[in-house]
């Protein structure tokens, strides 16, 4: 099947027991067993649940992997992946990685002797010397959060594998509808399903997908042992949300392209970060490894515009954490999503106090532009 059909009919399609078109919500914690020593298909819902299993199979199909695991949040998924490593291991991170990923490495896993180094993964010439014996994996976001920098996933995977390192890609911004890192050579794909996969800002979830049986077995052991699994009702919501992923991502991407071009031409805008713009440094690579630039934009206003007034003046676009819902959301990375990253590191990688991150929704693009324009105008007047 083509991807648009897999979104609707992939994984486990319907319910064999009843003929239901949709996978039912198996809202149970445990299952009856027929006798001692007779291993049942379903035993305990932390270990496995039919609704969650259908969702996990669907994500594996969409990402062109062999095994998927659903977690209670994106950070639970990240935590499971990081738990693959042990004392003395080191990870390389994309230079503008999500603040939550940095925080759990810096404040939790560092206590267990797992270290990290933030590098520019777009600079392929500098990567080989960073792949020292203590490095076990390279963790990429592409496009990265929040500066939308694009890393050549295939090239990083090739170089990393030559040195025996794993490649982990956070594919939250792109979704498998636009980009499939496993097919580009990555070993592990992570998602915050809360974002585009769910798409309606009504469920928290996370996913890990792999194509290697050994990795799958280790991750399943961690999922079952640590217990941060996605519940059956939330699994049902995710299955429902994913059915419309294709049409939503088409609209998100079209709207974002229009808004990015509009911002690029606005006299109050100092800089626009969006890999769908031809002048963007990541444009060419994005064209080769993804089928669109996605719905995320970051931008900066000129210094004589008051960013606080801009946020306060928005009416349609909502100031909020998160992204990827049908509604347009805006945030201030320096004090919100990336506040956990020390100021000196933020400034070094370009996450300035004036940076604005915009998750472009599927409303009328004219209404989005009008709301942004009014807020920008008000922010400029505030300085007069």
- Rounded Cα distance between 253 and 277, Å, is 12
Q: Is 195 a catalytic residue?
A: yes
Catalytic residue, chosen from 13, 15, 31, 46, is 46
Are 139 and 117 in contact by the 8 Å Cβ rule? The answer is: no
**Secondary structure of residue 121 in the 3-state scheme:** coil
CA distance 279 to 282: 9
Q: What is the phi/psi pair of residue 77, to 5°?
A: -65, -45
Is residue 98 flagged as an active site residue? yes
Catalytic residue selected from 170, 234, 280, 371: 170
Query: Of how many residues is the chain composed?
Result: 384
Backbone dihedral region of 364: left (phi > 0), alpha (psi from -120 to 50 degrees) or beta? beta
Active site residue 357: no
Q: Of the candidates 180, 121, 191, 106, which has an alpha carbon nearest to the alpha carbon of residue 156?
A: 121
Q: Single out the catalytic residue among 26, 98, 116, 177.
A: 98
User: What is the rounded distance in angstroms from the CA atom of residue 333 to the CA atom of residue 344?
Assistant: 14
Q: Say whether 103 is catalytic.
A: no
Q: What is the DSSP letter of 193?
A: T
Q: Would you call the peptide bond into 143 cis, given omega within 30 degrees of 0 as the criterion?
A: yes
d(CA 304, CA 91): 40
SS3 content of the chain, % helix, strand, coil (to 5): 40, 15, 45
Other beta carbons within 10 angstroms of residue 284's beta carbon come to: 12
Q: Are 180 and 64 in contact (CB under 8 A)?
A: yes
Q: Which residues are within 8 A (CB) of 304 and not within 5 positions of it... i.e. 6 or more apart?
A: 380, 383
Rounded to the nearest 10 degrees, how much is the dihedral formed by the CA atoms of 146, 150, 154, 159? -80
User: How far apart (Å, rounded) are the C-alpha atoms in residues 263 and 271?
Assistant: 9
Q: Of these residues, 130, 195, 211, 357, which one is catalytic?
A: 195
Catalytic residue positions, numbered: 46, 98, 170, 195
């Amino acid at each position: 099947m083509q991807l648009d059909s897999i979104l609707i009919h992939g994984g486990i399609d319907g319910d064999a027991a009843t003929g239901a078109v949709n996978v039912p919500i198996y809202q149970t914690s445990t299952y009856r067993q027929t006798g001692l020593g007779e291993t049942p298909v379903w035993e305990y819902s932390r270990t496995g649940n039919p609704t969650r299993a259908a969702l996990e199979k669907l994500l594996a199909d969409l990402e062109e992997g062999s095994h998927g695991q659903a977690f209670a949040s994106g950070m639970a998924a990240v935590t499971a992946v990081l738990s693959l490593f042990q004392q003395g291991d080191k990870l390389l991170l994309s230079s503008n990685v999500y603040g939550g990923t940095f925080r759990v490495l810096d404040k939790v896993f560092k206590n267990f002797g797992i270290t990290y180094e933030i590098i520019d993964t777009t600079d392929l010439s500098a990567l080989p010397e960073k792949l020292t014996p203590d490095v076990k994996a390279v963790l990429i976001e592409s496009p990265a959060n929040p500066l939308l920098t694009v890393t050549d996933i295939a090239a990083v995977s090739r170089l990393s594998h030559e040195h025996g390192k794993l490649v982990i890609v956070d594919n939250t911004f792109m979704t498998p509808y636009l980009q499939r890192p496993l097919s580009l050579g990555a070993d592990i794909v992570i998602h915050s399903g809360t974002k585009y996969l769910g798409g309606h800002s009504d469920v928290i979830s996370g996913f890990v997908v792999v194509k290697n049986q050994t990795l799958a077995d280790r991750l399943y052991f961690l999922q079952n042992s640590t217990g941060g699994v996605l519940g059956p009702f939330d699994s049902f919501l995710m299955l429902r949300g994913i059915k419309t992923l294709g049409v939503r991502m088409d609209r998100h991407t079209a709207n974002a392209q229009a808004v990015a071009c509009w911002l690029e031409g606005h006299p109050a805008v100092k800089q626009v970060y969006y890999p769908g713009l031809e002048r963007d440094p990541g444009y060419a690579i994005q064209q080769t490894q993804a089928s669109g630039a996605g719905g995320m934009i970051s931008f900066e206003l000129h210094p004589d515009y008051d960013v606080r007034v801009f946020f306060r003046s928005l009416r349609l676009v909502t100031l909020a954490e998160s992204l990827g819902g049908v509604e347009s959301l805006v945030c201030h990375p320096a004090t919100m999503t990336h506040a956990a990253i020390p100021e000196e590191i933020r400034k070094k990688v370009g996450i300035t106090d004036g940076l604005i991150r915009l998750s472009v929704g599927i409303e009328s693009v004219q209404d989005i532009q009008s709301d942004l324009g009014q807020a920008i105008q008000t922010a400029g007047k505030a300085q007069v």
